[in-house]
Structure 1
């Protein structure tokens, strides 16, 4: 069955992890577009209701649905909230995630399990519940993965592993739904380093404050990709060329990338500041939210040519073809001129005789095509005087 995706202005959209970062940026962009309805889910009820109140001042109806995505019953309650308020939903965005920094041998196993409960099983819970509802009306499931699903980042091994799992699950879900003829589009968004409160929310077992490697991109770029995927069927969208390069290099030269990460991984993911004592992360408990950006001083990139190329591939191909044609038009005339000016042999030189010695001691003189003469050893030479 064909997938039909409505304009976002006609859609009801559910977003998990909506109280900060990418989820919050996406909620703002959708509200500005005038989406029909928003159901926002996160653990921090106070921050979530503040966001819902702010966004409800426009023409969009926004409902807060507090939930921990690692608990299936919480996710089911989010879906029921959307159904009760709007009669259903059209797009479901799985964005909620937590993070860990540190060496595997130093991170307690319960923390690693908790990360998978949120990052992987939270996506599974949301996707399966959304798919069950969308089978009847059609729509879109958007899972927020990471470029680290293509290349593991040292000191973020379990986060990378969870995003590998999200990618595998998303690919499998897409194939199964297509095979069953379900009218559901499934898209994986893979952000690079994004300027969100990621490091403020991450549990850090390093001796210095954590950081995300440069270049860093604005969360509104990820929001743009999410909104696009809600209206256009896409398999994957990568946000940020910097992260894409890491994945590509990891495939072309995996051992070299291993060594590069071993040499630079700690320095790229820490600051000069000592880590402050005491856990201030959101691994188990929600912390103060409502921030879209990180508190670390840096200027994020607000454009991504790679993203634009993926969102508008035909326009990109046309532009590249035009540039290639223009470049050819500039280069071909000079090259042709060079060929015309290349020195050539004069007609007279083409008929200058060439001489080669034959086996019988005679010279064979070639004057040109069809002109051959022979002479003996002494013919044409001065004879000695007697």
Structure 2
């Protein structure tokens, strides 16, 4: 399967007005791509399109709620109308709810799934209907929580597990049909977006992501590499790979680490943000958020992983570290 260079592509990005989506759009614009951005808030989309123009690119935008299939159809229609089609489709739109099971209302959990899961399903189906005939890349933004759940994030973790299951099944079906479509699941760790300020909270304090917190630009670079070179799964941040590996081989130990160390770090010191974007878009065309003292850092792991020559060395190191943690975990679980 051969994919075009980003410079020759039209790329659709849902959730393109802030965070990872906006970081991806800006980087793609600097590389020469043309963009179609979708989100629920027109002012933020217009500002995002201006940022793309300032970076030297072209961007159309569509006010759309990915939970509605008809809105997602309009995104594809705009790409065809404005640029003659698209080469890559990035499903990045997502929302967050923090709170213990039993404290988060069912309607809020269902709304989260409408965006995080059904929005991804709608985007995937619309993209595949077009790409089956022309070829290209579908990139679904999951999370380390596609592999490993975190406390206070049960609904979000469940939605990202669902994203992984759908993506894996779709990839197999397309391969069986011989469709020229690359399907990638991106699994970031804690990323320095405005999500803590945008999410709905039931803890009484503004949540925070457990450190280390990585730069959204690292996810953008990984997404755009997947637009050019087929890859099955891509972690962003060394901690994502570590948590996934440890969770697979020593789940009891990972549970203990999560409840002992991660859970306290998720509770910030400030009062909760009074507004959120669960039901309505409230983004401000910002890539970065406020993470209450956590440094937003680059990921040496992700940068090495994007270098094909380093892949085997990274894999060997991950296996060695995983084996060490597994041995320690078995000792703890056997105690």
Are the structure 2 counterparts of residues 317 and 65 from structure 1 closer, same or farther at C-alpha, using a change threshold of 3 Å? same
User: Who wins on radius of gyration, i.e. which is larger?
Assistant: 1
Over residues 61-114 of structure 1, what are the superposed CA-to-partner deviations in whole Å (9 max), with x where a residue is unaligned?
210111100000000000000001111100000000000100110110000000
> Is the aligned partner of 1:291 residue 2:289?
no
Give yes or no for contact 1:155–1:265 (8 Å, CA) kept in 2: no
Using the alignment, how far apart are the partners of 1:252 and 1:108 within structure 2?
A: 33
Query: Does 2:131 correspond to 1:112?
Result: no
* 2:309 aligned with 1:314: yes
Pick from 300, 303, 311: which aligns with 1:304? 300
Give the direction of change, closer, same or farther, for the CA distance of 1:176–1:268 in structure 2 (3 Å limit). Answer: same
CA distance in 1, matches of 2:266, 2:183: 32
How many aligned positions are there? Answer: 315
1:82 & 1:22 partners in 2: Cα distance?
20
Q: In 2, are the aligned partners of 1:192 and 1:217 still within 8 Å (CA)?
A: yes
Residue 11 of structure 1: how far off its partner (Å): 0.6
Distance 1:114 1:127 in 2: 19
- Aligned pair in 2 of structure 1 residues 26, 58: CA closer, same or farther (>3 Å)? closer
Alignment equivalent of 1:18, drawn from 11, 16, 20: 16
Q: Is the 8 A contact 1:91 1:142 kept in 2?
A: yes
Alignment of structure 1 residues 21-170 onto 2, 5 Å = 21-35=19-33, 37-57=34-54, 59-170=56-167
For the aligned residues, what is the CA RMSD? 1.7
* More off after superposition, 101-110 vs 251-260: 251-260
2:149 and 2:158 in contact (8 A); partners too: yes
Separation of aligned partners in 2, 1:120 and 1:145: 10
- TM-score norm. by structure 2 comes to 0.90
The 2-side partners of 1:311 and 1:124 are apart by: 27
Within-5 A mapping of 1:189-338: 189-275=186-272, 278=274, 280-296=275-291, 297-305=293-301, 307-317=302-312
Contact 1:239 1:304 in 2 (8 A): no
Q: Which has the higher contact order (CA 8 A, sep 6+)?
A: 2
- The alpha-carbon deviation at position 15 of structure 1 amounts to 0.3
Post-superposition shift, 1:58? 5.0
Question: For residues 290 and 5 of structure 1, what CA distance do their matches in structure 2 show?
Answer: 29
User: Contact 1:189–1:226 at 8 Å: present in 2 too?
Assistant: yes
**TM-score between both structures, scaled by the size of structure 1:** 0.79
Runs of 5+ unmatched residues, structure 2: 317-335
Work out whether 1:9 is the aligned partner of 2:4.
Answer: no
Q: Deviations over 1:171-224 (max 9, x none)?
A: 111110010011000001000000000111110000222100000000000000
3-state SS of paired residue (1:194):
coil
* CA distance in 2 between partners of 1:316 and 1:182 (Å): 27
Deviation of 1:261 after TM superposition, in Å, equals: 2.0
**Cα displacement string for residues 356-381 of structure 1 (whole angstroms, at most 9, x for unaligned residues):** xxxxxxxxxxxxxxxxxxxxxxxxxx
